[in-house]
A and B are shown apart, each in its own frame.
Chain A
Amino acid sequence: MTDDPASDLTPIERRDLRRLAAFMVPASADYGVPGADDAMIFGDIVRSLGRDAGDVRATLALLREAAGGDFADLDEAQAETAAMALLGREGPAIEALGRAVLQCYYRDDRVMRALGLEPRSPFPKGHALDPGDWSLLDAVRGRPRMWRDVDGGTA
């Protein structure tokens, strides 16, 4: 979906969401991945809020409440505490926030490559699937009938 509800987010909401995204999925040199606040990923997140825009805005309001003021003004430790308190909550709005961030993070080319995945759509190349070990079925073949024969089907 390329819904564009970006205009729904105020500049303050965008700024808060970006800082929050960095706590949700931080950049990692060890794993060779950007954070969810990376400019390209974050741009994708904001553009793709779609059906979750309302819930994401609601969580940002909760974040401001948890921060006891402006989230952007908190130092790193305070901001992390506020972010984690918010993310520790349960419910559909927090799930929507997670979905909004993760659906974009886990389609970024750099993230895909770091996971050893090809950055592409499934179609048209598809995927290969091992045939598997069909000899395993020998243990089941030839067992006595298990289904109940009624109405004389095989009589």
Chain B
Amino acid sequence: MAVDAHPGTARPSDAIVDVLIIGAGASGAAVAWSLADTRMKILCLEQGDWIRPTDFPSNGRDWEARRYADFDISPNRRARDTDYPVNDDNSLMKIANFNGVGGGTVLYTAHYPRMHPSDFRVRSLDGVADDWPIDYWTLEPYFAENDRMTGVAGLAGDPAYPPHQPTLPAVPLGRTGTLYARAANKLGWHWWPSDIAVATSEVDGRAKCINLGHCTPGCAQGAKASVDITYWPAALRAGVELRTRCRVREITTDDRGMASGVVYYDANGVERFQPAEMVILAANGIGTPRLLLNSASTRFPNGLANSSGLVGRNLMLHPWPIVSGYVADELDGGRAPITSLWSKQFYETDASRDFVRGYTLQFGRGTGPATEAITSAASGRLPWGRDHHRVYRGLLNHRVAIGVACEDLPEAHNRVTLDPVLKDSHGIPAPRIDYTLSDNTRRMMEHGIASAEEILTAAGAKNLSASRTVLNSPGHLLGTARMGTDPARSVVNEWGRCHDVKNLFIVDGSIWVTSGGVNPTSTIQALALYIADRIKQRLATLFD
């Protein structure tokens, strides 16, 4: 690394790069790989580490306990030195993420649906929120390319989903899936094998899934398509440089108001300056607004790229009640990927309901032995004392659980700001989350809970419970630097460039206009590939 003096400061400065990407997660990996064929000098700074296959919990007997420790989904509990704290006290939905190469995909459940065409036309179709400045069909080739890079299991022909061709065979139904399928058929409801980013057969040298359990705490087999084993190896081979344990504090600007680089802390805690011709933010829907707000300057007093005042606003988190019950038959427990089926019965808006937009039902398997005991004891289902063993035997491997993936609409008061007190280990102000559920979302949740109860009952489940207050945290962080053509009402334009700073791009979940009722990563990555392509097409006039 070349070290020059950066004018006006004592901090060391690195050699200038053409493209600097902040964050090595889902979108950062995709944009790095796509831009690599330009032969530009591309550098990615990531605050976390590489996670090795041997690091994952499923290697050890403490595999369930580690989900509450160094592989917890909450950065506050996980509290690795590579994590930053998040003040989510004022939010019913807690923040889940992972900070490391692969970002959230290291921990994601790998449920991999695309947004639907109607999700991009919310205002025109349903009279709420805003339309996106792009449409599904523009993104379609990028969805397909992303599926090829990722390896997606599923089945073509779903009548409730736009036509597509999953690249790998569907995840087996198992006993649990068969039970749900029978129940859905009894009700005449839609169901279909989900798109899942899991190698159900060998793909690009990645071994096939051997059912290590839920995919969420990472995959020791390498069958789950986290981007550290999909895009990153390809991007690195193509010449992209990735530096880990480098935490960016702020994006700097020059006297023309263009991004000039970033100030970051390297692996030794040394503050450095990294100059760049262009900066791409891929730090997710919380990390990106945090960085923009932390980059306030005299020229940009409200934060960088924030003339609209929308940086940090319109946070969408996908409220996700889980409805569970227990059946008499012994099922798969937690011995395979948690989800393998979805129902889109209630996905599209239906004027006869008391809410607009819709939700997906995700049919889940049970859990492992310790998790069953811990969650059941916490909910009061599993007693302490003499009756513990008898009751437990009726729970383990008998659980069915449905996730209701609700679309929450953008609301300006749901937001990320900088916490006045909380800081990370480098002293950088941490994000604070203020988030409430709208009436539309609450009505949608109640409808979803009732639907889940109906199908669980049809499946013969008893002992049903649904949580309305402690909602599952799906780790979907969206909307806080949204896309649009009007600089007064959006942060980036329709191809990801900040309206205010013409060499600053955003490619992560923050640019979402609305959230759909699906897990977002497939669409986040398709968008990142689309933005990379637009950048490549415009290289000569990119900053005009």
Contact = CB atoms under 8 A, between A and B. Distances in A.
A joins B in a complex: yes
Contact of B374 (A25, A103, A144, A149): A103
Contacts of A106: 64, 369-370, 372-373
B116 A140 contact: no
B159 A132 contact: no
Given A115-B369, A121-B61, A136 B211 contact: no
Contacts of B194: none
A99 interface: yes
Contacts of B160: 145-147
B241 interface: no
Given A129-B174, A130-B174, A137-B181, A143 B190 contact: yes
Given A121-B59, A122-B212, A146-B348, A132 B173 contact: yes
A127 B69 contact: no
A121 B211 CA distance: 12
B377 A154 contact: no
Nearest to A102: B373
B264 to A, nearest CB: 28
B292 to A, nearest CB: 31
Interface string B38-77: 0000000000000000001011111111101110100001
A129 B70 CA distance: 28
A95 to B, nearest CB: 5
B117 A151 contact: yes
A139 B186 CA distance: 10
A143 B158 CA distance: 9
A132 B180 CA distance: 11
A1 B212 contact: no
Contacts of B370: 102-103, 105-107
Contacts of B175: 130, 132
B178 A130 contact: yes
A67 interface: no
B514 to A, nearest CB: 14
Contact of B121 (A104, A112, A150): A150
B500 to A, nearest CB: 29
A88 to B, nearest CB: 9
Nearest to B160: A146
A152 B184 CA distance: 31
Interface string A92-109: 000100110011111100
Contacts of A104: 65
Contacts of A132: 172-175, 177-178, 181
A151 B121 contact: yes
Interface string A116-146: 0101111111111111111011011111111
Interface in B158-189: 159-163, 172-175, 177-178, 181-182, 184-185
A50 B137 contact: no
B375 to A, nearest CB: 9
A93 to B, nearest CB: 12
Interface string A1-44: 11100000000000000000001111010110100000000000
A2 to B, nearest CB: 8
B182 to A, nearest CB: 6
A145 B162 CA distance: 9
A23 B384 contact: yes
Given A48-B62, A103-B370, A132-B174, 12 more contacts: A31-B390, A48-B65, A51-B77, A99-B68, A107-B62, A107-B65, A121-B63, A131-B172, A132-B175, A140-B184, A148-B348, A150-B121
25 contacts: A3-B69, A24-B385, A25-B388, A26-B385, A51-B68, A99-B374, A103-B370, A115-B369, A119-B61, A124-B210, A127-B213, A131-B172, A131-B173, A132-B178, A132-B181, A133-B178, A136-B173, A146-B344, A147-B160, A147-B348, A151-B120, A151-B137, A152-B137, A153-B136, A153-B162
Interface of B: 56, 58-66, 68-70, 72, 77, 79, 116-118, 120-121, 124-125, 135-137, 140, 155, 157, 159-163, 172-175, 177-178, 181-182, 184-185, 190-193, 209-213, 220-221, 332, 335-336, 344, 347-348, 369-370, 372-374, 377-378, 384-386, 388-390, 393, 396
Q: 10 closest Cβ contacts across the A-B interface?
A: A132-B173, A126-B210, A146-B160, A127-B335, A106-B370, A148-B118, A103-B65, A136-B181, A123-B220, A122-B212
